[in-house]
Amino acid sequence: MSVTENTRQGESDRNRVVGRRIPKLDAAEKVTGSTVYIDDMRIAGVLTAAIKRSPHAHARIVSIDTTEAEALPGVHAVIHAGNADQRPFGYGNDNEPLKRSKVRCIGDEVAAVAAVDDEVAKLAIELIDVTYDLLPEVDDPFAAMSADAPTIHDELDIDGNIAMRWDFETGDLAAAEARSAVIVEGRYSSPQAAPAPIETHAVIADFDPTGHLRVISPVHMVFMYRKALADCLGLDWQRITVQQPPVGGSFGGKIDIDTHDFITVMLARAAQRPVKLVMTREEEFVGSRTRQPIHFKLRTGADADGMITFRDAEVVSDNGAYNAWGSHAMLVAMNTVTSLYKIPASRMSCAVVYTNKNYGGSVRGFGNPQATFAVEQQTEELADALGIDPMQFRLQNANKANETTTQGLKITTCGLSDCIEAVRDKSGWNRRRGKQRGRFRGMGAATYIHVGGGARIYGSDGCGAMIKIDDSGQVALISGSSELGQGSETVLAMIVAEELGVGVDVVSVTHNDTDVKPWDVGVHASRTTFVAGNAARLAARGARTKLLAAAAEVLDVPVTKLDLRDGMIIHDGDRDTAMPYTKAIRRSLLREHSSIVMSTAFYDPPTEKQDEGYIGNISATYGFGAHVAEVEVDPETGMIQLINLWAAHDVGRAINPMSCEGQIEGGAVMGIGLALSEELPVTDGRFLAPNLHDYGMPTAVDAPRIDVTLVETIDPLGPYGAKGIGEGGIICPPAAIANAVADAIGIRPRQYPMRPWKVVDWIKREERSTVIDRRGAASS
Amino acid sequence: MNTAAAPRTTGTPRLHRPADLGEAVRFLADNPGAVPVAGGTDLLIDRRLGRITTDCMVDISHLDISGIERDGDHLRIGATTTIRTIETSTELAVSAPALLEAARVLGSIQIRNMATLGGNLCHATPSAEMPPPLLVFDAEATIVSSSGWRTIELAQLFTGPGETSLQPGELLTGVTAHVGDGIGSCYIRQTVRWAMDLAGVGVAASVRIEPETNGIVSSVRVALAAVNPVPTVVEGLDSIVVGKTLDADVLDEAAALARRSASPISDARGTAQYRRHVVGVLTARALRVCTARAANTWPPNRAVPPNGFDPELLVDSGVTR
């Protein structure tokens, strides 16, 4: 029996809450429509904000005339770079909330107004007259790198339009290539896509009479948001409170501060009134952050036994007009290039390039769907070239527990092989892959590696938690984390209930006010269950100790003889004399020399920041998974129908299987959208389709039934063995569906979304794998 | 800062609810800027986007110009008949499945519950679903105004993207399609996703097979959506198809003619070259389905896939090559 199984058996008897299928705690209010989002909030005296955006992709601002807007009755403030107190922000300080001298993409903010209502605000925006001097624009990253390209950031001391480079190399690539029997090379590209939450971005800013700022924002890296606000606007960050209302979807798009947050605060400062901004759907696409297009030129080699020898990636990230978060998606893409399967030698040379387009932010998966699209297509191309079944090829190269990858990722537990076998067997892969081409049907697979135990990109990767138990026995968890709809509230309540030995119904979770909650990095990198979960578990453990101590005192028995289960304090195993814990709490409280149970904890995972060569164990554990997609391709119209999707994920431990399945299914549907339909088509920097109708998010009709398998590996560091699962579902579908298309019609997709006319074009061009087979050469 | 009262830039439009058709027509005559509204599924979006700026709408949703009626070979459908009613009509399932198939893929069920046939026709979107299946049944449009009734060929209603030949004060009250025994019809389309999408290319067709002739075509119609500024009937098909059986060569010729009848644009829903290609593909498929239906050889309970691609039924027959 393996260690894993021992642990599970040992704990299974005790778990009363963990492992149960519990609907999300906020489900009832969501389905009844009673949730109050920012747009629903009514605040006395609030003004409406609107932003004047650039219609040009690249232009010098000659003048801004706000005279008429200021004279319009009902307008309370008009701001622009000339009258606003602001400083540069963003990575490399390459951005400013209101543009002073240049606009670098359509949607760039040049002025803003606060007015009594929406209509007046919109009219005032129209009355602002901006004179531009148009500049040559560049919307293609390869063109942007050429010597004669217009310089987008002439104020920065950088090499042309190359904003950043991420270069990694390990192992002896030349030797690895020399011993390769087969090498596959190809180019793989992804489009500009959007997180597209149903709730558009919104923010309320309100200064009290003493100058203390309250911001209501759906942001999920809330403490960094507060710091960024203070730094950019010259505010005292000790006098800023950030409150987080329920969020109507983020998917990464609301992770951090954005231009409109600064602008709303500046408007509130100028108008001396509370100000609310709610973006329109069109603004959401044009004026908030996207998933950046990434272009991969990838080579992968394998020896005659089917063991991968090397990966070599040249990557160009088209991150748009400013750096923002998207510039760092390369960190995650790099993990996949260096560490998905055992890769002895690898190189990734990456340029993040400025273009005159809406710029890349953080979107679920953060570079990994793009990287996996390249890497996992090449896995099947390589296996096919060698004549090895792709699943067998994956299994023999798969990562294993207790191994460290060449990039320094320490894999503690690893369910990759289990996931591969699960989707292989459930999908009937061995019977069906490669055997349905006559019916234009095909099967393809993809696997992933993704951080599952936080991601140390700041000094701390920690999260605080506090627990108090009041006289009713209600257990309040005050967590540093944030709820974005991902279900963290429910999972954290379950962890606390399990650890304390009480029902989940007596646990409340508070996490929406920086005045109240302890510090946390914020929600990103699938880290909340792991990091905030461990913090909550530690706090609950402390509370349990205190509660039992209080009970021991009132019962006058040794604490070592007491247990707390199902809300009952049990002495010496005798259930007949058990006392409700609420009674112990009250007897400890309602007396002289009273006491009450409170407990705090801070958890920072045992990880390291990567060094200058990007080596280091960035996460405390890693999540793995495998998908199989089955498609039918209409070879004449190029329309692809996804028929089936099987998904197996190493979740460590399913704290709440229903939540895990929901995250995986939701992520997979987003991945299906990326694969088949979602795109912000741009011509000359202009979005052709800034609306949900044209953008192409999948409907229920486009999403097949998704067969989810949860693989439990019981991570030694995870709370009850859990790993993060928030992003895993989105990573594989583009690669798996591309592989399925290749199986169905013998054509190799080179980019997603695989919209119908592209498929027809690939068929016409007979797009196939490029294989260098050196076996003949080696033997002769 | 200006503290004077804020101006009202736009107001909520006035909604007039006439008691009957006569009052509606008189109101439209007296208020030339008034816009008739039934389901509002296009109009309300147009208003939000500033495409229409009227301050007066006339609610026609309750007027007695709704319903589906078969009278011999005449099939009358009222203008305010909802798309959902068309989609679920047992009469249309028998006499004009093309109409039902077009209705089935329009928007979502929620939209189809509100949207009306007249609205879909009068909005005159080049990619609209309902015009092609009506055009293949030689439909006529009935129009009323304060000066009386007139009937035009439906094709004459469409004059450009979003433009119709309706004059101020005129109201479309319904259409009449010409159906009959021995006619098979269908509507198929190409889209990016499988629901809630506009057609990149839409093709409706109808075929009449002469009885006892072993598949000789006596009449044929093909109409296209989304590939011209207006919904288009493919002209000149008769000389290619009528009097013949629809074999592979005839289908090729018909598809080529349909391609030549299309002048598509490139946009977010596809390139012009691709759309022209798909016109040919879908035309051949639609004619194949129509022929099978006319000859009663199409399996009765087998739905035609939205794009007409059915590997089991079509690949072997040589349509997909």
Task: Give a three-class secondary structure readout of B239-271.
Answer: HHHCCCCCCHHHHHHHHHHHHHCCCCCCECCEC
User: Of A752, A776, A736, A751, which Cα lies nearest the Cα of A696?
Assistant: A752
Tell if the CB–CB gap between B190 and A761 is shorter than 8 Å.
no
In one-letter notation, the amino acid at residue B316 is: D
Q: State whether residue B282 sits within 8 Å of chain A by CB.
A: yes
**B107, HSE (Cβ side, Cα atoms, 13 Å):** 20
B10 confidence band (pLDDT: 50, 70, 90)? low
pLDDT in the model for residue B314: 53
pLDDT in the model for residue A10: 41
Burial class from Cβ neighbours inside 10 Å (0-12, 13-18, 19+) for residue A272 reads middle
* Residue B53 Cα to chain centre, angstroms: 26
Tell if the CB–CB gap between B1 and A73 is shorter than 8 Å.
no
State how far the alpha carbon of A320 is from the alpha carbons of A105, A296, A354, A696, B116, in Å: 8, 17, 5, 22, 43
d(CA A535, CA A462): 8
Tell me how crowded residue A516 is: count the other CB atoms within 10 A of its CB. Answer: 12
Q: Does an H or E element contain A282, and which?
A: helix A281-287
Q: Which residues in chain A touch residue B320, judged by CB atoms under 8 angstroms apart?
A: 635-636
Per-10-residue mean pLDDT, chain A, length 780: 37 73 94 96 96 97 98 98 96 95 97 97 97 96 96 93 96 97 97 95 98 97 96 97 96 95 98 97 94 97 97 97 93 97 98 96 96 98 98 98 97 98 98 94 98 94 97 97 94 97 96 97 95 98 95 93 95 92 91 92 97 96 98 97 98 97 98 96 73 91 96 97 97 98 97 97 94 72
Share the mean pLDDT of chain B.
Answer: 92
Q: State whether residue A677 sits within 8 Å of chain B by CB.
A: yes
B301 confidence band (pLDDT: 50, 70, 90)? confident
pLDDT in the model for residue A513: 97
Nearest CA in chain A to B9: A119
Q: Which residues in chain B touch residue A441, judged by CB atoms under 8 angstroms apart?
A: 311
Q: CA of A750 to nearest chain B CA: how many angstroms apart? A: 18
Residue B225 has pLDDT above 50, yes or no: yes
Nearest CA in chain A to B199: A694
Q: CA of B217 to nearest chain A CA: how many angstroms apart? A: 26
Tokens of A295: 């272009």
Nearest to A73 among B7, B190, B309 (CB): B7
In one-letter notation, the amino acid at residue B290 is: C
Nearest to A117 among B6, B269, B309 (CB): B6
The sign one gets for the Cα dihedral B37, B40, B42, B47 is positive
The ipTM of this complex is 0.94
Tell if the CB–CB gap between A696 and B5 is shorter than 8 Å.
no
pLDDT in tens, B244-254: 999 999 999 99
Burial class from Cβ neighbours inside 10 Å (0-12, 13-18, 19+) for residue A707 reads middle
Q: What is the pTM of this model?
A: 0.96
B320 confidence band (pLDDT: 50, 70, 90)? very low
In 3-state terms chain B splits into helix, strand, coil percentages (rounded to 5) of 30, 25, 45
Q: CA of A466 to nearest chain B CA: how many angstroms apart? A: 46
Tell if the CB–CB gap between B307 and A689 is shorter than 8 Å.
no
Identify the residue among B189, B192, B203, B269 best suited for mutation to test binding to A, counting A beta carbons within 10 A and taking the highest: B192
Identify the residue among B274, B276, B279, B304 best suited for mutation to test binding to A, counting A beta carbons within 10 A and taking the highest: B274
* Residue A275 Cα to chain centre, angstroms: 29
Question: Is residue A55 reached through a cis peptide bond, with omega within 30 degrees of 0 on the bond before it?
Answer: no
Q: State whether residue A681 sits within 8 Å of chain B by CB.
A: yes
Q: State whether residue A704 sits within 8 Å of chain B by CB.
A: no
Q: What is the DSSP string of A412-448?
A: -S--HHHHHHHHHHHHTHHHHTTS-GGGTEEEEEEEE
Backbone angles phi, psi at A57, to 5 degrees: -80, -25
d(CA B321, CA B317): 10
Nearest to A639 among B7, B9, B190 (CB): B190
d(CA A374, CA A187): 8
Q: State whether residue B12 sits within 8 Å of chain A by CB.
A: no
Rg from Cα positions in chain B: 21
Q: CA of B310 to nearest chain A CA: how many angstroms apart? A: 9
Averaged over B260-274, what is the pLDDT?
93
Q: State whether residue A77 sits within 8 Å of chain B by CB.
A: yes
Q: State whether residue B196 sits within 8 Å of chain A by CB.
A: yes
Rg from Cα positions in chain A: 27
Strand A640-652 and strand A706-712: the pairing is parallel
User: Higher confidence at residue B4 or residue A125?
Assistant: A125
Which residue reads 């690539």 in tokens? Answer: A173
d(CA A77, CA A729): 45
Cα angle for residues A214, A216, A218 (degrees, 5° grid): 145
d(CA A129, CA A94): 25
Residue B37 has pLDDT above 90, yes or no: yes
Tell if the CB–CB gap between A271 and B282 is shorter than 8 Å.
no
User: Of A161, A56, A163, which Cα lies nearest the Cα of A108?
Assistant: A56
Residue B312 has pLDDT above 90, yes or no: no
Q: Which residues in chain A touch residue B4, judged by CB atoms under 8 angstroms apart?
A: 73-74
User: Of A98, A89, A95, A112, which Cα lies nearest the Cα of A61?
Assistant: A98
Tell if the CB–CB gap between B193 and A439 is shorter than 8 Å.
no
A190 Cβ neighbours under 8 A, 6+ residues apart: A291, A293, A294, A295, A369, A370, A373, A674, A734, A751, A752
B318 confidence band (pLDDT: 50, 70, 90)? very low
B321 confidence band (pLDDT: 50, 70, 90)? very low
Q: State whether residue A126 sits within 8 Å of chain B by CB.
A: no
Tokens of A43: 């605040």
Q: State whether residue A616 sits within 8 Å of chain B by CB.
A: no
d(CA B111, CA B106): 8
Tell me how crowded residue A26 is: count the other CB atoms within 10 A of its CB. Answer: 16
pLDDT in the model for residue A686: 73
Beta-sheet strand order (sheet of B56-59):
B14-16, B56-59, B35-37
pLDDT in tens, B164-186: 999 999 999 999 999 998 999 99
Q: State whether residue B266 sits within 8 Å of chain A by CB.
A: no
Decide: A538 and A603 in contact? Cβ < 8 Å.
yes
Tokens of A358: 């809406």
In one-letter notation, the amino acid at residue A665 is: E
Tell me how crowded residue A755 is: count the other CB atoms within 10 A of its CB. Answer: 27
Cα angle for residues B10, B11, B13 (degrees, 5° grid): 125
Nearest to B5 among A73, A638, A696 (CB): A73
3-state SS record for A155-189: CCCCECCEEEEEEEEECCHHHHHHCCCEEEEEEEE
Residue B5 has pLDDT above 70, yes or no: no
Q: State whether residue A755 sits within 8 Å of chain B by CB.
A: yes
SS3 (DSSP) at A310: strand
Strand A275-278 and strand A47-53: the pairing is parallel
Q: CA of B171 to nearest chain A CA: how many angstroms apart? A: 29
Tell if the CB–CB gap between A71 and B2 is shorter than 8 Å.
yes
Which residue reads 């009935």 in tokens? Answer: B142
